[in-house]
Chains A and B, each alone.
Chain A
Amino acid sequence: MARLQLKNVNKRWGSFVGVDNFDLDIADQEFLVLLGPSGCGKSTTMRMIAGLEDVTDGEIWLGDRVVNNLEPKDRDISMVFQSYGLYPNLSVYENIRFPLRVRKVPKEQHHEMVMKAIDMVELNDFMDRRPAELSGGQRQRVALGRAIVRKPTVFLMDEPLSNLDAKLRVSTRAQIKNLQSKLKTTTVYVTHDQIEAMTLADRVVVMNKGKIQQVGTPTDIYDNPANTFVASFIGSPAMNLVEGRLENGVFQGDGIRVEGLPAGSSGNVTLGFRAEDAEIVDGAGEISAPMYSIELLGEASMITWRLGGSLVSIKTNKEYRAEIGDTVNARIPAGICHLFDTASGERIAQ
């Protein structure tokens, strides 16, 4: 159990910046998710915490000591790798026992500890098999079992679900959440899947190009994205973003005009709103433009316009019918709108 702090951590390879000034304080027992597109530096950050990658600049604190110069084995963490990293020549039982063996845990305790971990990840029927004789989901659970068999101060998980099929991913996700709440171990979890992040995290760190974009609870980053990157990355579908001009509290874009916005600022702005917050109307609306497409989603239909350069979508009931090219109107109350500075992408305070 420990608090984990990253103080202005940087990773550079030559002139290439992998992680840029990463500064974060992770509380004891917290479930923290690093979320971002592929190549944004999530794994690098995690590997620096694990000690598998040197820190170019900055400090990593684990509990009350700086661990920058400690070997991975001395950091007392455990890690689940994307490709699991199981020992192919050892049985499931021996795979899970491996950390106890190399860490010189007294032999008499091994069996009990291993069996407890095996129970937790429900692998009792597969104890004697080799990894090659297991399905992807079972291998994944062996990796989890190996991580929890001793009580580490921090769990690190690097996209542990990305090699599983969609259905298994949902059930394993629930299992991980459950395990973490039982074990109460500080956890850093890396993913590029925003749904995983939203469902698992106490707090989410959204990263892009090596930089932290926003830190907050899932609700926080969903309701108040700090910039257009976060807005377009979180939510499914992602937030609609339209460029235009703001003048005296009136936003004017191509085919869209919203009144009653805060009058404080003016200039080129990007207006954002979520598909599920707006509604299609018959009379006049903030959007009035020819429809670009209509898609049936099952429980709802999705109407899309092309406004300026961007596609804007709104959900409506599944009975709604219109032809492509018809003018369709929608109501966008000022209250659901987010404003971002077009040049910097940053949120404009409201």
Chain B
Amino acid sequence: MSNLANKKPPSLVALSTVFVLFWLVVAAFPFLWTMWGSFKVEGDFFSRADWMNAITGPVTERQHGGPFTLDGYRGAWIEQEFWRAVLNTGIVVFFTVVISLTLGTLGGYALARSGFKYTFWLLMAALVFRAMPHVTLVSGYLLPFFQMNIWGYLPTTIIVLVAINQPFTLWMLHSFFLSIPKDLDEAAMVDGCTRFQAFRLAIIPVMWPGVVTTGLFSFLLAYNDFTVTSMLLTQENATMIPKINSFLGSTQEEGKVMYAVAAVVSAIVPLFVLILFFQRQIVSGLTAGAVKG
């Protein structure tokens, strides 16, 4: 491989390097900008006088005696109790992922191995519901939820998120299972496994990258969701994204926007950790060939 790469003309190598660097900067810039700015006051980060103020921070300097301040974080986390939103998000995300993966692996496995004629149409129908804008589904839920007096609670939201997400999880895991030869289950059963043991001991270990990848998608859906959580949760049960939105909605109050910026940065960090942690499984899950023996 490296031989081949060495033979490429230097101009091409230079060009592609420049392109990759450019792309990196473009991709990373908004995040770096926001992170840098989150340690400033509103007067700097949203400065009308000079955009360079966001970098140098003269107003921050004047108000706090240094170019950086933790005011945004303090306000968001302590004063506005952003930790509560983090906790709520944690609960919602955890249960959404666990429930949809459990149902998804069992259901996907059953569909992949059943040979049932209508499997394809079943999955197709599921996908149609997944494709609908979430808001069309949620507005339908509102009234019954009010009447049943279950509006505003975390479990309700978890159930709705699982329902919205399940078709996709099922579909994705189903195709992962299809790529695992049936011989593997059968070998395990002849070797002494029950059907469920074969699933647990022979199939799931091979399926692991697929489960992690699908889990990541479920995670992102629940983590980033705004439509469902903002409409179905009370103020104190709000998750991070609606909470950040509520900070932004109150621009009259000096400094509150900076709470939003600080909260945004706080919300991004776990994603980086997650991707770094599961990087290998995600890559092999996305290149599904890795599943094959």
Q: Which A residues are CB-close (under 8 A) to B190?
A: 50-52, 72-73, 77-79
Size band of the interface chain A makes with B: 20 to 34
Q: Which B residues are CB-close (under 8 A) to A103?
A: 191-192
B70 CB to nearest chain A CB (Å): 47
Using a Cβ–Cβ cut-off of 8 Å, how many residues does chain B contribute to the interface with A? Answer: 19
Q: Which B residues are CB-close (under 8 A) to A131?
A: 293
B184: CB under 8 A from chain A? yes
Residue of B193, B194, B197, B293 near A86 (CB, 8 A) is B293
Q: Which B residues are CB-close (under 8 A) to A255?
A: none
- Known contacts A73-B194, A102-B201, A131-B293; is A85 also within 8 Å of B189 by CB? no
- Chain B, residues 193-236, CB within 8 Å of chain A (1/0): the string is 11001000110011000000000000000000000000000000
CB-based contact B193/A102 at 8 Å: yes
B186: CB under 8 A from chain A? yes
CB-based contact A102/B187 at 8 Å: no
Q: Which B residues are CB-close (under 8 A) to A77?
A: 190
- Known contacts A87-B202, A87-B206, A88-B292; is A52 also within 8 Å of B184 by CB? no
Residue of B187, B194, B205, B292 near A85 (CB, 8 A) is B187
Q: Which A residues are CB-close (under 8 A) to B201?
A: 98, 102
Instruction: Select from chain B the residue with minimum beta-carbon distance to A82.
Output: B183
A311: CB under 8 A from chain B? no
- Known contacts A81-B186, A83-B181, A102-B201; is A71 also within 8 Å of B191 by CB? no
Q: Which A residues are CB-close (under 8 A) to B292?
A: 88
A344: CB under 8 A from chain B? no
Pairs of residues from A and B, 3 with the lowest C-beta to C-beta distance, nearest first = A85-B187, A88-B293, A85-B183
B282 CB to nearest chain A CB (Å): 17
Q: Which A residues are CB-close (under 8 A) to B202?
A: 87
A216: CB under 8 A from chain B? no
Q: Which B residues are CB-close (under 8 A) to A88?
A: 206, 292-293
Q: Given A78-B191, A79-B187, output 15 extra A-B contacts at Cβ < 8 Å.
A: A51-B189, A51-B190, A52-B189, A52-B190, A71-B194, A73-B191, A81-B183, A81-B187, A82-B183, A85-B183, A85-B187, A87-B293, A90-B205, A102-B188, A102-B201
